[in-house]
């Protein structure tokens, strides 16, 4: 789904971000680049950090969480090889920025966030921007979201100590999952492709994410 955007004073900064942080570092997927040129990242960032929205680093979004650096977002999206008809599961909605990008690149997005306050704010921004093909769910993403499985793509925005088994079970044949795996201060992005019922794992770049916090006492609503 492509939301219609009005004139945006941040457009020049966004263009610069796409050129210097993404294209220049090897992001080549034109659909990903176009989506990142369109989605107003600053709308997902708290007022006091908004002037840094297009800079080359993560930013605080509340609840001790962060919105990821643009490059790592692009790299993860590129790895997922999304098609317009795909159904996607996102673990860790956070600000909702990646949710919006997924909504531009795929047909349907289910996104799980454990902090109800972040989920509520993300829902509000996504609705205001006109995204209707996303559902933000409060709950524990390590369990995935079985009611709508299987998914053509799964993206995990928080660091897991090991591959969460329920997510693997919810990945469709031919599906792709991108997940940072490793200890709290140094992870590596793992790309998993489900081929003939078996996960094929490719290691990608090192990264650093907030931890995936499992088994919260919330039921998925």
CA quadruple 95, 177, 57, 21: dihedral sign: negative
CA quadruple 218, 219, 220, 221: dihedral sign: negative
Q: Which of 80, 106, 158, 179 binds ligand SAH (CB under 6 A)?
A: 158
- The β-bridge partners of 135 are 110
Q: Note whether 95 binds ligand SAH by CB under 6 A.
A: yes
End-to-end Cα, the chain, rounded Å = 25
Q: How far is the CB of 106 from ligand SAH (least distance, A)?
A: 15
Binding mask 50-89 for ligand SAH (x = CB under 6 A): -----------x---xxxx---------------------
**208, 187 Cβ separation under 8 angstroms:** yes
Q: Which of 32, 89, 103, 112 binds ligand SAH (CB under 6 A)?
A: 112
| Number of residues written out for the chain | 221
Phi then psi for residue 209, to 5 deg, are: -120, 160
Question: Packing angle between helix 70-80 and helix 97-105, nearest 10 degrees?
Answer: 30
Q: Which of 20, 68, 95, 111 is catalytic?
A: 68
Q: Which of 32, 98, 100, 178 binds ligand SAH (CB under 6 A)?
A: 98
Q: Which of 32, 88, 106, 118 binds ligand SAH (CB under 6 A)?
A: 118
68 given a catalytic annotation: yes
Active site residues: 68
* Interacting residues with ligand SAH (CB under 6 A): 61, 65-68, 91-92, 94-95, 97-98, 112-115, 118, 140-142, 157-158, 210, 212-214
């Amino acid at each position: 789904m492509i939301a219609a955007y009005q004139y945006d004073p941040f457009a020049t900064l966004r263009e610069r971000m796409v050129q210097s942080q993404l294209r220049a570092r090897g992001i080549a997927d034109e659909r990903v680049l176009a989506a990142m040129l369109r989605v107003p990242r600053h709308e997902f960032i708290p007022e006091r950090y908004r002037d840094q929205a297009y800079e080359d680093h993560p930013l605080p979004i509340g609840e001790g969480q962060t919105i990821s650096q643009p490059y790592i977002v692009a790299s993860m999206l590129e790895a997922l090889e999304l098609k317009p008809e795909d159904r996607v599961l996102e673990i860790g909605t956070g600000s909702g920025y990646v949710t919006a990008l997924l909504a531009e690149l795929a047909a349907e997005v289910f996104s799980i966030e454990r902090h109800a306050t972040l989920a509520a704010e993300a829902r509000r921004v996504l609705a205001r921007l006109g995204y209707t093909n996303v559902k933000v769910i409060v709950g524990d993403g390590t369990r995935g979201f079985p009611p709508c499985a299987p998914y053509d793509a799964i993206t995990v925005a928080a660091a897991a100590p090991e591959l969460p088994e329920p997510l693997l079970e919810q990945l469709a044949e031919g599906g792709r999952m991108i997940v940072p795996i490793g200890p709290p201060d140094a992870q590596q992005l793992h790309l998993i492709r489900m081929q003939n019922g078996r996960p094929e794992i490719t290691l990608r770049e090192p990264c650093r994410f907030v931890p995936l916090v499992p088994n919260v006492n919330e039921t998925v609503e």
